[in-house]
Structure 1
């Protein structure tokens, strides 16, 4: 059964029991900080793993409820797949509950479970009143019709039902697969003595492996994933949907901030101007003038900016969307479709939210013409829709593209025809298509993997094709990897020798650190001639690591520097060639053991394996007691 990974959030008003409920579900107290213990409220985000069920892995984010910690709340829910809205039975819907609901909807969270907590404190009548109050508040929202669960974390009443409801709801949530470029918005940064800089976040896209070379944006620092952890357990890799901690090499704690983004490719934009579609809150607010300062939350970043309007000079409450632009004071990392929240800096209040139409906005004139242009960008061209579908699914055929984009068949076919003619989209066998940038990304990933492999295994001719495919199969469909390998080999960007794949400029060689020692072993083998001892005798007592000793024998055989005489004996190529020349000179067109022994002067211990080696090399052919040269001279 395929493993799936989800992150869910506990949201709601302060002191409604989110942390206690998280502990009841997971047996983990997410309030870690001293001040959290003393004040009884969550300040930083808390995380805990929910017990795995049927291959479904779940991380719970305990989101701070206090208004002053709203930034942490937004950072926590960005990237979650399901929210548990916690409402205390003895208080009902409170102001923070309302604001959390607005934020969750603006961020595009579509699945919700209402957990009415502290039910042991109220009677049935009060419980019914609170339930009706919540249902009234959710009517007309995306959470209308959400399941309700009644719980008490202290007694444990209803906790098992909540756990079952969580897993049942997740069956209806689309699992974020790991295809695409790795992206991790950072929501926590800290240091651990002896380990250095640690970052945490929920992986939005792709997969990260231990040892991966990454880029920290927006500053562009090159870093390495020295260690990858999921809920305090070290892993070889982590993927989209997982809460992850990464130990970064190559960067100091002071160089990393919450809101920075870790990526594994050059396909992510750094921008300070975004074109957006903005949906405003449902209640009245103090009007916002043109270019008024706003605080923008996107991913895990919080930046100041100015709201640029194109069809009005003042922003007031409206039910419709507003197509506008936000010019930011700092650079951020976003993609088309990313969700954001806009808040007034003073007095502090949430104004609305929406999604990014264009990550790299330009400077436009005021007027309806600009709004029409933004509308067209929002809707997207047929190619925009196809590109978005291919970014999400990597490889699709025409039928799947039409299903994903809702384009008509003629429009989809014509768009693909034009895009493949210009090689913006690449046609694959079996009528499938892939973005040209994804092909380039695959090439870069393969070359990076091979470069790492060559550095670790310099004696080997390359990595086995099956092993190479398996090493990146979590990121790309296997058929696409096969297509890429064939394409890159034909274009001489990779080389293929039998089952081995290598970089074009790579040649197997002795590792520099052990070169002198290894040359000594090879020289001893050469001096022994045909009467070589066992291979283990030549390497006994050498300081060369055991793994390199084993690699060296394979290297000598694969490079033609040596031949295998018996299972445990090698002879150097000079010994082979000299013995071959001597035997040819000392025999006629055909010869037996007696003639071969007289020519070479060695015992049967070495003579018979050598003659059998000549047969294997197709230099001789044996017939009964005689051998005949296939070609002499």
Structure 2
């Protein structure tokens, strides 16, 4: 089965056309039939010449019912865009077309109807200035051109990409009603996944069970996407379900109320609406808009929605055009520090262009540092790396930093307990600490404690501990050679500690604790812009004697990258 929305501004002609194609009445309410105006979503279906079955979601055309129109348009893969020969392209045609483009619907058919009333040529020519889809001309009243329309629908549905029937279910509810003796039934367009009787799902976070399924009026044990489906829910009161809610596969979706998005206008969002309505699927939710940078913004939603990276949605604000948005992050970090919004805009900048991809799993992980495998998958991450330990994934840059910090901690506190190290590093499980130790010889774990020695004598470990204590307040004020000797860090001791991964030895006799390089890169990333050596010296609170060899080391490790003779950027903080 395939599902097509019928859009366009011409209500009576559009419903007449669907009626002629399917033999079914898409206008469900007596008032709709009396006024010749579609008010709410209508549904009908038919079998094409090829045997393919196609369902239609007939959406309202009038400006007062745009929210209903978007609820029907949101989940469908294709659109039959209907214009009237005697009316041509109008303001509502433009609004519907903008919504279709903003949602990224690429497949469709242009239909000019009411051709028995007027020559369709002028209306068709005008529509072709906007719509590049194949076109047919028909009359729903006389049947003229219906065979050609059915053939065009066959070609359209045959060319649609195959949905992922194994994907987690997110069924946006567009109707909810009660059937005597059966209970609550909800309907929607299943865009991906498969529903089965007996399935356990979530409705607004509450567990429910599927009692029965129907597709196109027929009982079914299972229904795979793409399909119009009616779901009978066991033991669910009618007032628990409504349009805009969703049925979800458990543990496969994250409820989001703050999201970072790309605005598909391509223009800077400021000045722009600070209050708008987000439309996705059949849901419409009030949203506060905070511009971040050119083409990106943060949305704070009035209620949580099950969203994923890559989702397409619409933003509407009074007096402004519809704006398409693409979700870039569903669990962004709070913007609390001064300059945090600017830094976040810099992170999102590679994804702000209209043709840019959405963030992949590696990017999402880098933004967080670490995440559980199931959580990253629920965000929409694909090609996930293997978990490090206990189901946790850690970004390589963060992993290297943590390994440096663990080595330093073990050097300062010989035999530190694993649990104490876990607390000091703010790690969620012991398994991660043990995996860190295994990845960083000569660290090892024995009897619940971390051995940093690897055969190093106690005086070497003590000297490293004294250096760390001295640099606690100013981490990049590396001691001069004479002070290193006073701390017990002779050339021989420094060499042994550096080989064991406890010290960072740079050119020019500069010695810093292990991990100072990755920590410096993270500090420089907070600048949010290209920087000079002088900028780095100020940001790190150090001297030219230290900052020049440190920057050369960061370049060599790929943590920073030169733009020219003066400027660098952080490549992988």
Shorter-chain TM-score above 0.5: yes
* Cα 1:425–1:163 shift into 2, 3 Å: farther
Q: Tell me if the contact between 1:291 and 1:309 (Cα under 8 Å) persists in the aligned partners.
A: no
Mapped partners of 1:369, 1:281: distance in 2: 20
Structure 1 residue runs of 5 or longer lacking an equivalent are 139-143, 312-320, 388-404, 406-411, 427-633
In 1, distance between residues paired with 2:100 and 2:183? 34
Aligned in 2, Cα 1:366/1:133: closer, same or farther, shift over 3 Å?
Answer: farther
Q: Could you say which residue in structure 1 is the equivalent of 2:196?
A: 209
Aligned equivalents of 1:178 and 1:210: distance in 2?
A: 16
Q: Check 1:80–1:120 CA distance in 2 against 1; reply closer, same or farther (3 A cut).
A: same
Partner of 1:56: 52
Paired residue secondary structure (1:121):
coil
**Cα distance between partner residues in 1 of 2:223 and 2:252:** 20
SS of residue matched to 2:163: coil
Q: Distance in 1 between matches of 2:135 and 2:264?
A: 27
Secondary structure of 1:244's counterpart equals strand
Q: Deviations over 1:501-523 (max 9, x none)?
A: xxxxxxxxxxxxxxxxxxxxxxx
Structure-1 separation of matches of 2:264 and 2:142: 41
Aligned-pair CA distance for 1:187: 1.0
1:431-482 deviations in Å (ceiling 9; x for gaps): xxxxxxxxxxxxxxxxxxxxxxxxxxxxxxxxxxxxxxxxxxxxxxxxxxxx
Q: Structure 2: how far apart are the matches of 1:182 and 1:106?
A: 23
Partner of 1:264: 249
1:120 and 2:94 matched: no
Q: Does 1:371 align with 2:345?
A: yes
Task: Say if 2:154 is the partner of 1:180.
Answer: no
Aligned to 1:233: 218
Counterparts of residues 384-395 of structure 1 (less than 5 Å)? 384=362
Aligned residue for 2:284? 302
Contact residue 290 and residue 308 of structure 1 kept, 8 A: no
Matches within 5 A, 1:313-462: 322-344=295-317, 346-347=318-319, 349-364=320-335, 365=339, 367-376=341-350, 379=357, 383-384=361-362, 419=386
Question: In the aligned structure 1, how far is the partner of 2:97 from the partner of 2:17?
Answer: 19
Distance apart, 1:328 and its partner CA: 0.8
- Is the contact made by 2:270 and 2:291 (CA closer than 8 Å) also made in structure 1? no
Contact conserved, 2:11 with 2:38, CA < 8 A, in 1? no
* Contact 2:309/2:358 (<8 A) preserved: no
Query: Structure 1 residues 422, 247: CA separation in 2 closer, same or farther (over 3 Å shift)?
Result: same
Report if the CA contact (8 A) 1:272-1:330 is conserved. yes
- Alignment CA distance shift 1:281-1:148 (3 Å): farther
Residue 15 of structure 1 and its aligned partner are, at CA, apart by: 3.2
Task: Please state if 1:46 is matched with 2:20.
Answer: no
CA distance in 2, matches of 1:423, 1:44: 49
Residue 566 of structure 1 aligns with which residue?
Answer: none
Instruction: Determine if contact 2:12/2:36 at 8 Å carries over to the other structure.
Output: no
Q: 2:361 & 2:334 partners in 1: Cα distance? A: 24
Question: Secondary structure, in 3 states, of the residue corresponding to 2:126?
Answer: helix
The 3 A distance-change label for structure 1 pair 424 and 115 is: farther
Superimposed CA distance per residue, residues 528-564 of structure 1 (whole angstroms, 9 cap, x where no aligned partner): xxxxxxxxxxxxxxxxxxxxxxxxxxxxxxxxxxxxx
Q: Does residue 168 of structure 2 align to residue 194 of structure 1? A: no
Contact 1:199-1:246 within 8 A present in 2 as well: yes
Q: Is the 8 A contact 2:139 2:145 kept in 1?
A: yes
How many angstroms apart in 1 are the aligned matches of 2:218 and 2:144? Answer: 30
Unaligned runs of 5+ in 2: 366-380, 394-573
Residue 255 of structure 1: aligned partner: 240
Other-structure match for 2:207: 222
The Cα shift of 1:281 comes to 9.7
> Which residue in the other structure is 1:30 paired with?
26
What is the distance in 1 between the residues matched to 2:182 and 2:270?
Answer: 47
Are 1:167 and 2:154 counterparts? yes
Write the deviation string for residues 196-244 of structure 1: whole angstroms up to 9, x where unpaired. Answer: 2111101122111112121112xx1211111101122111111211001
1:547 paired residue number: none
What is the SS of the residue equivalent to 1:65?
Answer: coil
Q: Check 1:281–1:80 CA distance in 2 against 1; reply closer, same or farther (3 A cut).
A: farther
Q: What is the aligned length?
A: 371
Map 1:266-281 onto structure 2 (within 5 A). 266-280=251-265
Does the 8 Å contact 1:221/1:251 carry over to 2? no
**C-alpha contact 2:213 2:221 (8 A) present in aligned 1:** yes
Q: Secondary structure at the match of 2:386?
A: helix
The answer to whether the Cα contact below 8 Å between 2:280 and 2:314 also exists between their aligned partners in 1 is yes
SS at match of 1:310: strand
Does the 8 Å CA contact 2:266/2:295 hold for their aligned counterparts? no
Query: Contact 1:210–1:226 (CA<8 Å) still a contact in 2?
Result: yes
Where 2:292 maps in the other structure, the secondary structure is: coil
- Structure number with bigger Rg: 1
Match of 1:89 among 54, 75, 85: 85
**Residue 251 (structure 1) shift:** 1.7
Paired residues of 1:16 and 1:117 also in contact (CA < 8 A): no
Structure 1 residue 110: Cα displacement: 0.2
Match of 2:71 among 65, 70, 75: 75
Cα offset, 1:23, TM superposition: 0.8
CA gap of 1:381–1:51, structure 2 versus 1, over 3 A, is: closer
- Residues 294 and 225 from structure 1, CA distance in 2 versus in 1: closer, same or farther, beyond 3 angstroms? same
Rounded Cα–Cα distance in structure 2 between residues aligned with 1:161 and 1:270: 45
The 3-state SS of whatever aligns with 2:314 is strand
TM-score for both structures, normalised by structure 2? 0.60
> How far 1:275 moved relative to its partner?
0.8
Q: CA deviation at 1:14?
A: 3.4
| Counterpart Cα distance in 1 of 2:224 and 2:211 | 16
CA apart distance, 1:322: 1.2
Q: Structure 1 CA distance, aligned partners of 2:363 and 2:341?
A: 27
Distance 2:182 2:387 in 1: 48
Structure 2 CA distance for partners of 1:66 and 1:291, relative to 1, 3 Å: closer
